[in-house]
Structure 1
């Protein structure tokens, strides 16, 4: 099969899968007493078309993309990191604590917040690294369980005024919240055509390009991909699974922690409003994992996937106006994920069947 024919096959399969997913979503909407077309219009208006909405969608897409980029790096090494929710939460906690501890002028402190957010996520992922390479605990298990530990650890910090808890005068009637970030420490928001979005949009896009280049065009990226494809061959070629695997997992956690810091300093686009609160991560870590999965663990396609998932989030609030429960967007999201995972699975099974048939004929 020629390259053009194979590309056309991929396009047709993806288009068919997405069409089936949307058709199923429309059936579900109709079954719940709604009308599918107003729901689609509400999603589009809430995420893009209405005044200021695409800026909001860009703001939400930033942490999703950062989490996805970290997931891509870990996956290239053949490691399954599913603890991004906890790594993001710990990164936000590190950013909060050290941001107030170190202080300094606004721009300088903003750099400190971002830096320690990434460090916090990397440190938390490194716990899974130690368990993986010291005790042989599978990272898919340790990273997942560490999400629960992270939630409890940050919850403890939010009950201690020497750690994260805001002074009583700043808390008012709210409990377990951090001090609110000062105005000059917040991420700037440019305004384009009436849409405000954080400048971290540019940072996230630049990081996506850097990650794509490093993984595809550098020796380190080649060795990482080699390790992910065939660990035994990589070790025989001199690639240390411990060094490269540990580095990839820690970097993945660092990206999730950076996402947490961006959410803390980004404020209005995220849960918490420039404060660290329980539930701060707001499932961004889990959704970012789905973004990487839908993008087939590739950095540049993750940019588009992050915007789509962010649009489903920001548009869900407008769905209520149609009389349909806004949670229907979660169903649409799940169907889209399944739709985008079906073509690779089908083609993989078909190619394997053809390979076996060809081997049998040669025999």
Structure 2
């Protein structure tokens, strides 16, 4: 085939992908509108409320960026694990343990504001890596599937943090600081928090910039370095990778630990960056608030592409921040969960359809040759 023919074929295939995605998204939005109408609401005011709550209202796009940052960090870690062929679904627990490590060592070490922010972020990443490392040890030294161990460790992390919030020498704040609230950590001092610049009336933590930079770094490392090539080789064909000298234990365990480190970093960013009224610069029960699960969906929708995860994280963050405005339309704000689920399905349908079509064509070609 000539170069012109190859370019035409690639263009046609790209057109098919775009058409499939557009059709799937339109179908998802139509179904979502039907669901809204069936609950007694009007779909157009709901759409406007979502846009106002996530973008147009004063200060809202800054809030959306603040939520998108930890979602993106979790997604990046998931991408790294997935490239090695590992299924890590314990991001919620790794994020929570990262926040717990960040809280404990942040108050234990202390220090000047900027230094303490670095301490919090570093130990947050360490906490997530350690927790994911437990699953790595079980996977590569005891043969326990990581999809099972990472999921079960979410429950263990919840109980571990709850235990830590029972004791002052671990995570629990002194009685005078807790007031009427029980089982909360001390509040992070103002000078130890991640800076939150104000741009055009929108305030968000600088962890947004960190997440964007890391997305570029991860994309580059996975696509342009020897380590990234070996990691992708391991994920595509573990046996061929091992025959080429790629250690499944070294690369697999490191990928799982790095994935956990990103989730732990997200937890530290939530603790020190604010923007989550649920925690308000404190570690509390349920602190992770489903950010780990949603970050996993972000990576899934982005099809394990670091740069695509940037857009997906912003969309999911917009649904989250815009849901508070949906109540003003008389529709239950949980309807955004339905929209989110439909969008996830819409973005997963095209790859499945294209895979089945390509496999059917390959079988037909093989039959014709016979």
Give TM-score scaled by structure 2 length.
0.98
Shift of 1:134: 1.1
Q: Distance in 1 between matches of 2:29 and 2:133?
A: 40
Q: Does 1:307 align with 2:347?
A: no
Matching residue within 291, 296, 310 for 2:298: 291
Matching residue within 47, 59, 63 for 2:70: 63
Q: Distance in 2 between matches of 1:51 and 1:172?
A: 32
In the alignment, what sits opposite 2:248? Answer: 241
Matching residue within 130, 135, 142 for 2:149: 142
Q: Does 1:153 align with 2:155?
A: no
In the alignment, what sits opposite 1:187? Answer: 194
Q: Distance in 2 between matches of 1:289 and 1:54?
A: 22
Shift of 1:140: 0.2
In the alignment, what sits opposite 2:36? Answer: 29
Q: Distance in 2 between matches of 1:180 and 1:82?
A: 30
In the alignment, what sits opposite 1:351? Answer: 358
In the alignment, what sits opposite 1:79? Answer: 86
Q: Deviations over 1:253-293 (max 9, x none)?
A: 00000000000001233521000000000000000000000
Q: Which runs of 4+ in 1 moved over 2 A?
A: 268-271
Unaligned runs of 5+ in 1: none
Q: Does 1:110 align with 2:107?
A: no
In the alignment, what sits opposite 1:342? Answer: 349
Q: Distance in 2 between matches of 1:213 and 1:129?
A: 25
Shift of 1:321: 0.1
Q: Distance in 2 between matches of 1:343 and 1:206?
A: 29
Shift of 1:361: 1.1
CA contact (8 A) 1:263 1:270 kept: no
Count of matched residue pairs: 363
1:226-265 correspondence runs (5 A): 226-265=233-272
Q: Distance in 2 between matches of 1:294 and 1:248?
A: 20
CA contact (8 A) 1:118 1:258 kept: yes
CA contact (8 A) 1:312 1:333 kept: yes
1:307-326 correspondence runs (5 A): 307-326=314-333
Q: Distance in 2 between matches of 1:11 and 1:318?
A: 31
Matching residue within 205, 214, 219 for 2:221: 214
CA contact (8 A) 1:56 1:269 kept: no
Q: Does 1:199 align with 2:206?
A: yes
Aligned-partner SS, 2:196:
coil
In the alignment, what sits opposite 1:91? Answer: 98
Q: Deviations over 1:158-178 (max 9, x none)?
A: 001110000010000100000
In the alignment, what sits opposite 2:4? Answer: none
Q: Deviations over 1:194-238 (max 9, x none)?
A: 100110111000000000000000000000000000001001111
